[in-house]
Amino acid sequence: MSTIDWLIVLAYLLATLGIGVYLARRASSSMEEFFVSGRSLPWWLAGTSMAATTFSIDTPLYIAGVVGNRGIAGNWEWWAFAMSHVVLIYVFARLWRRSEIVTDAELIELRYGGRPAAVLRAAKAFLFAVPINCIGIGYIMLAAVKVIGVLGIWEGLGFGPDEQILGTDPKLLTVLGVAVLVLLYAGFSGLWGVVTTDFFQFFLALFGAVAVAFYALRSPRVGGLHGLVEKVQATTDFDVLAFIPFTLGQEGNWFGVGWSAFAGISASTFLAYVLLQWWTFRRSDGGGEFIQRLAASKTEAEAEKAAWFFNLMHYVVRTWPWVLVALAALVLYPDLEDRELGYPRLMLDFLPSGMLGLVVASLVAAFMSTVSTQINWGASYLTHDLYRRFMRPQATQRELVRAGRVASVLVTALGAAAAFFAQDVAAVFRLVIAIGTGPGVVLILRWFWWRINAWAELAAMVAGFFTGLFTTVVPVLRIDDFGMRLAVITGITTLIWVAVMYLTPPERPETLVAFYRRVRPGGPGWAAQRAATGLPPAQSLARDLRRVLAALLLLFGLMFGIGGGLLLRWDVAVAMTAVALAGGLWLYRIRGEERDA
């Protein structure tokens, strides 16, 4: 990196810290200002922040590894979550905003009552704030260490590749230094600082991804989009360009549809992604960081718009720059052992001076946006759901803000400790999915069926965590096929929580009535509470589910239509554009029905 590159990165870091200091006074007024921005976020800021927190420095490395090892179809590992994210738009966004909570753990004592609810709230707050959250911070830091290693920053200062400072890898020390800067602005300004910096960080990170794709495709060894499509398949022994790993017209298969012999992922894994993972994962009804943004939105309508904007940015806009870079890396570095390093290698080899500084700043931005969210989100559990709820119920607002800042330091320190043990970004990503699989169906049903109780949710959360952990890291119990692993986790967890639910009493009628009165969910599962209160549901569940189906056609149609055009698969581009148009027209028609009603 040249001097101008370093100046660009330094200017970005100072600007980010300045924003945090500027917003510190506003965040200090109350706990709601610190953790949910006074419930005054506009949709575009909340939605951009949701998109920014899912784009960290690990993401392009993860995509490069997935495409390099499993092909484009391997991205269904995260594309499958689009289904739960579209459900979030039309089913859960308004429910979360209507509940007026600070954290999703707080909902537990609205939905359930008594000691079981208190135990569940404390357990969930600790589990999400410490092990799950800190594992996430750790593997983000691992990705940052990999990028610094490829850029050769410390080698340029005269250090050997294995030389240490204070017994520690200097690359990790660099990452920890940036994390301390993140802690400063996140601790000063709370969610206000996080979402405001997220807005600038997201578009800078997006620009960086597009820039790397542009310069990589310009290489004569790639030859633009035409050359990429022609050359990339020759570098692998599987169908790297397939969006969906099926083949058509095969004799002997049902309706001529069969599994591709050259697919980069197994049939069981693909089916687990699209049929199982998205509704069994712990984020099936939103996910903690997203819920924080939805709860902070101005109104229910703004929350719904924020969720839509996130989906468009995350799946339609960002997917293809990452995929193109990953494919280019296959062509340019066919013998690269660690495919995750393809992204930073392309940066270093093809970006001119100045542009390299901007793209490095974009990766730093991606790192900071996600880590700042993780810090603030984890601190909200420790402060609101543990400290305020169980230790200091009478705490003043100023004391709670101070506790939030102390909790931010603790979460950062624990996340940094996790970074010392992480080894592989994709492997840790799969561990996070595994330990979070199982409780998703309970999280959905608790909104729409009165019989779900606190013991059932606690059993699902604990069973899913330990089953996922054991089947991933314990050699004797490890299940290598990822799809089979998710199926086993889901099956065991379901047996446990269903048994626990029927062996324990239901929630008290007054608790159920109070929850329905506040949230007013749709569907047939609250008929008795609806009759007791005389209040109609605030949403039509049947209409919302039709909107979900239409929106899925629109979202995936746009995503694959754009991808088909970029990869010169014009049949796919035309067909998926037609699907997107059909979904859009269906949504418009449903909206007209809603207005007429």
Mind listing the pLDDT tens digit for each residue in 4-38? Answer: 888 888 888 888 878 777 776 666 667 777 777 77
Give yes or no: residues 419 and 564 share one domain.
Answer: no
Q: Give pLDDT, residue 389.
A: 92
Pick 381 or 258 by higher pLDDT. Answer: 381
Evaluate if residue 209 carries a pLDDT over 80: yes
Q: Could you tell me if residue 484 is inside a domain? A: no
**Is residue 42 left, alpha or beta, with left meaning phi > 0 and alpha meaning psi from -120 to 50?**
beta
Mean pLDDT of the chain: 85
Q: Is the dihedral of CA 256, 260, 266, 269 positive or negative?
A: negative
Rounded to an integer, the average pLDDT of 359-377 is 82
Helices 170-217, 397-419: axis angle to 10 degrees equals 80
Please name the residue ranges forming H helices in 273-354.
278-280, 288-296, 300-311, 319-332, 342-350
Which of 147, 149, 157 is closest to 365 using CA atoms?
147
Q: How buried is 244 (Cβ within 10 angstroms: 0-12 exposed, 13-18 middle, 19+ buried)?
A: middle
Which of 285, 282, 277, 279 is closest to 123 using CA atoms?
282
The pLDDT tens digits for 455-510 are 999 999 999 989 998 998 888 888 888 888 889 999 999 999 999 999 999 999 99
Largest CA-CA distance found in the chain, in angstroms, rounded: 75
Q: Could you tell me if residue 367 is inside a domain? A: yes
Task: Indicate the residue among 424, 450, 467 that finishes a domain.
Answer: 424
- Calpha distance 284→297 (Å, rounded): 20
260 — pLDDT class (breaks 50, 70, 90): low
Percent of the chain with pLDDT over 90: 37
Q: What six digits make up the tokens of 587?
A: 């949504």
Task: Indicate the residue among 374, 406, 424 that finishes a domain.
Answer: 424
Which of 326, 299, 276 is closest to 69 using CA atoms?
326
Full domain range(s) for residue 579: 540-597
Evaluate if residue 254 carries a pLDDT over 60: no
Element (H, E) at 126: helix 114-127
Ranges 128-132, 296-300, 420-424: which has the least confidence: 420-424
Q: Could you tell me if residue 465 is inside a domain? A: no
CB 241 within 8 A of CB 71: yes
Q: Could you tell me if residue 461 is inside a domain? A: no
Please state the pTM of the whole predicted model.
Answer: 0.85
DSSP state letter for 92: I
Q: Could you tell me if residue 456 is inside a domain? A: no
Q: Could you tell me if residue 15 is inside a domain? A: yes
Evaluate if residue 324 carries a pLDDT over 90: yes
Give yes or no: residues 220 and 362 share one domain.
Answer: yes
How many domains, the chain?
A: 2
CA angle 324, 326, 331 (to 5 degrees): 95
Q: Which stretches does DSSP call E strand in 157-278?
A: 246-248, 257-259
CATH number of the domain enclosing 193: 1.20.1730.10
Q: Could you tell me if residue 459 is inside a domain? A: no
Q: Could you tell me if residue 467 is inside a domain? A: no
Give yes or no: residues 545 and 420 share one domain.
Answer: no
Task: Indicate the residue among 424, 451, 475 that finishes a domain.
Answer: 424
Distance of CA 565 to CAs 173, 320, 574, Å?
Answer: 43, 11, 8
The pLDDT tens digits for 112-156 are 999 999 999 999 999 888 888 877 777 777 777 777 776 666 666
The pLDDT tens digits for 515-568 are 999 999 998 999 999 999 999 999 899 999 999 999 999 999 999 999 999 998
Give yes or no: residues 185 and 331 share one domain.
Answer: yes
